[in-house]
Amino acid sequence: MSTLSDAAWPVPPAFMTTDGLRGVGVTRRQLRAAVAHGRLLRVRKGRYVRAGLTDDVVDAARLGGRLDCVSLLRRLGVFVHARAPLHLQFDPLASRLPTRPSEVVAHWRATTAAADHLITDVIEALVQATKCQEPRAAIATLDSAWHRGLVDAHDIAEVFTRLPQKYRRLRPLLDPRSESGPESLMRLILRGLGCRFDVQVSVPRVGRVDFIVDGWLIVECDSEAFHSGWQSQKRDRRRDLAAARLGYTTVRVLAEDVMFDREEVLDALREILTHGRRSTRVPNS
């Protein structure tokens, strides 16, 4: 089973207690100096964390919880569709916790994480994120974690073992070949159209393309992160020209439209596929 210790953090972030620090020889004076010089942060009475942790992990420590669900997955670089508020896991029997801000989402459940750890296990986070998101977004998140190597096929099976039965229908829809969340969402759009398509296809003299649909249409999902700048645009145009010489038509769909304007993208692709290989006629002026 994959854990977060070998993912984003060499060692899972944890809090330290006054008694624990004194037990390894840290005096009160040294502790005060460490806090004064910013080497340690005092997050709650008798609890400290090392400096340099991200704000969301520090917030988890202050509130007596652990970073969890979509918040943890986003921190690990996993695709999460919406910019969700802070999601934290709390032990069901925890008491005397600080008052939480209203926007914090609390998940009251047990965890396999060590008592002093400030993050949950990645499989636990994926289970929770699947329940917290709508199905399409959950599929994209699971694809992303799998593609990035945070989990493998065995771990994915474990995620669905822990989920309620109704979520099992999502498992056949996963595909770790999708290299981004928008690609996963586009795959689901194409599946909904009922067309035949291949994912991450290598085309001679063109390179790898996101999708080939019905054997003739190339669909690429373009994001600002990888397609901004003139050099990237020149590369894409040369690829499109090379593909056209082989008889392909290329459609480039903005990632933001795939994520936030799904119906428009679906309708446009439906019309394109309906027209097929027919040439577009220039309307009379």
Tokens of 203: 């085309």
Average pLDDT over residues 139-167: 97
Q: What is the pLDDT of residue 229?
A: 67
Q: Where are the chain's structural domains?
A: 4-11+61-173, 181-275
Residue 225: per-residue pLDDT: 58
Which long-range contacts does 269-275 make (Cβ < 8 Å, 24+ apart)?
Answer: 269/189, 269/190, 269/193, 269/213, 269/219, 270/193, 272/217, 273/193, 273/195, 273/213, 273/214, 273/217
Residue pLDDT, tens place only, 260-273? 999 999 999 999 99
Question: What pLDDT is stored for residue 281 in this prediction?
Answer: 44
Classify the C-alpha dihedral 122-123-124-127 as positive or negative. positive
Please tell me which residue, 151 or 234, carries the higher pLDDT value. 151
3-state secondary structure of 95: coil
DSSP secondary structure string, 2-39?
--GGGTT-SS--B-EEHHHHHHTT--HHHHHHHHHTTS
Cα gap 270→285, rounded to integer Å: 26
Compute how many other C-beta atoms are within 10 angstroms of the C-beta atom of residue 274.
Answer: 8
pLDDT in tens, 89-107: 999 999 899 999 999 999 9
pLDDT reported for residue 7: 45
Query: φ and ψ at 85, to 5 degrees?
Result: -70, 180
What pLDDT, on the 0 to 100 scale, is given for residue 11? 72
Per-residue pLDDT tens digits for 3-23: 443 445 657 899 999 999 999
Question: What are residue 181's phi and psi, to 5 degrees?
Answer: -60, -45
Cα 166–chain centre separation = 22
CA–CA separation, 120 and 134 (whole Å):
22
What is the CATH number assigned to the segment(s) 181-275? 3.40.960.10
For the sheet with 66-67, list strands across it.
66-67, 87-90, 105-108
Average pLDDT, the chain: 91
Is the pLDDT assigned to residue 277 strictly greater than 80? no
Check: CB of residue 90 under 8 Å from CB of residue 162. no
Nearest to 137 by CA among 81, 175, 203, 176: 81
pLDDT beyond 50 at 148: yes
Span 171-175, average pLDDT: 98
CA distance linking residue 271 with residue 217, whole number of Å: 12
Give pLDDT tens digits for 178-216: 999 999 999 999 999 999 999 999 999 999 999 999 999
> Tell me, what's the pLDDT at 282?
39
Percent of the chain with pLDDT over 90: 85
Q: How confident is the model at residue 61 (pLDDT cuts 50, 70, 90)?
A: very high
Q: Is 88 helix (H, G, I), strand (E, B) or coil?
A: strand
Range of weakest confidence among 21-25, 56-60, 277-281? 277-281
The CA distance from 105 to 84, in Å, is 9
pLDDT at 230: 64
Q: What is the dihedral of CA 188, 192, 193, 199, to 10 degrees?
A: 30
